[in-house]
Amino acid sequence: MKPGLLSGKKGIIFGALDANSIAWKVAEKAHENGAELVLSNAPIAVRKGDIYQLAEKTHSEVIATDVTRVDEIEELFRQSREIFSGNMDFILHSVGMSPNVRKGLHYTDLDYNYMSKTLDVSAISLHKILSVAYKTDAINDWGSVVALSYIAAQRTFSTYNDMAQAKAMLESICRSFGYHYGMKRKVRVNSVSQSPTVTSAGTGVKGFNSFYNFSNCMSPLGNSSSEDCADFCVAMFSDLTRKVTMQNIFHDGGYSTMGISDKLIDDCFVCQGDCHEKHDEQ
Ligand SMILES: NC(=O)c1ccc[n+]([C@@H]2O[C@H](COP(=O)([O-])OP(=O)(O)OC[C@H]3O[C@@H](n4cnc5c(N)ncnc54)[C@H](O)[C@@H]3O)[C@@H](O)[C@H]2O)c1
């Protein structure tokens, strides 16, 4: 193991599906920085098989876990503590899924069973993971938990659907649990609000290319890539960020603070400001 920012640290990475996954890049960078890892994903994703390439590369164990199942999360923590011979220092929650998005249902006509599933998989799962860790004291003092979010938690993105509610809840869970875990064990809980990124989950959202190009042209630094996100997660897991907790941190090249940019004014808009009139005529 090479020395690095995470030397001697151990952690669970949830959500590496394939080489495009943000979690995949985080696992690679965490390993490069000296961390020991357990990789976890849903049983169906583990059966797909790509995760074993990552496991080989990072010398990690793979444990299948459906993050909606508390019993499976308990078993994951039990096995991980055996593998680590003790507690862990960090967790990445990089999990999201909306059956409403997958089925292409319009936001004004959602299936509420699907919506419950969206919230359970994409947000409540973080509470379940934190709750199991808290009750079993599985994270060392000054440990760090990071969940990946998107700015649709604060702003309306017309096709992001019920994932917007999931991200708002996810960020809220970081704030609420961050208090309790901070008081108990000085464990930090933060969300990182990432730029649009070309992954399986990202490209599943209708109009993803427009999301991607718009924020890329809007942001003074351009979109952050999954590699950039992985570097930031490593920093968040490290001891250099020990007093950062209960935050939603925008990791988006400056997009979240922008109104309009020269690039958009000069190069992108073909609209003459008559969109509404055209729409009303239809
Ligand atoms: N790609 C983007 O544009 C973007 C932007 C901001 C935030 N994010 C967030 O980043 C995170 C990772 O997504 P990604 O873009 O790397 O896509 P991805 O598809 O590679 O990752 C999503 C992961 O969730 C896992 N998952 C789904 N249901 C699960 C379950 N029941 N139990 C356990 N795991 C389950 C999938 O197997 C997959 O590995 C998500 O929270 C996503 O919302 C993505």
Question: For ligand 1, what atom is nearest to the CA of residue 195?
Answer: 5
At 262 the pLDDT is 92
pTM, two decimals, is 0.97
At 3 the pLDDT is 67
What gap in Å lies between CA 51 and CA 200, rounded to an integer?
14
Ligand 1 geometric centre to CA of 22 (Å): 8
What gap in Å lies between CA 261 and CA 276, rounded to an integer?
22
Position 256 in a domain? yes
Burial of 172 (0-12, 13-18, 19+ CB in 10 A): middle
Domain that holds residue 234: 10-281
Mean pLDDT, consecutive 10-residue stretches, the chain (282 aa), reads 84 97 98 98 95 98 98 98 98 98 97 98 99 98 98 96 98 98 98 95 89 94 97 98 98 97 86 76 70
Within 108-247, strands assigned E span 139-149, 188-194
Position 2 in a domain? no
Query: How many folded domains does the chain comprise?
Result: 1
At 141 the pLDDT is 98
Position 160 in a domain? yes
Question: For ligand 1, what atom is nearest to the CA of residue 147?
Answer: 41
Position 5 in a domain? no
Position 185 in a domain? yes
Output the CA–CA distances (angstroms, integers) from residue 4 to 30, 32, 273, in the order listed.
Answer: 9, 7, 52
Which tokens in the block code for residue 66?
């459906």
DSSP characters over 149-173? E-GGGTS--TT-TTHHHHHHHHHHH
Q: Starting at the earlier edge strand, list the strands of the sheet with 188-194.
A: 61-64, 36-41, 10-14, 88-93, 139-149, 188-194, 248-251
Which tokens in the block code for residue 253?
């090249």
What gap in Å lies between CA 256 and CA 215, rounded to an integer?
9
Q: What is the CATH number of the domain that holds 201?
A: 3.40.50.720
Position 183 in a domain? yes
Most ligand 1 atoms within 8 A of CB, residue of 38, 125, 148 to mutate = 148
Most ligand 1 atoms within 8 A of CB, residue of 44, 199, 211 to mutate = 199
Position 1 in a domain? no
Whether 32 and 4 have beta carbons less than 8 Å apart is answered as yes
Position 4 in a domain? no
List, in order, residues 6 or more apart from 153 with CB less than 8 Å away.
Answer: 164, 167, 168, 170, 171, 193, 248
Ligand 1 geometric centre to CA of 149 (Å): 10
At 23 the pLDDT is 98
In the structure, which protein residues have their CB atom closer than 6 angstroms to any atom of ligand 1?
Answer: 15, 17, 21-23, 41-42, 45, 66-68, 94-97, 121, 148-150, 194, 196-197, 199-202
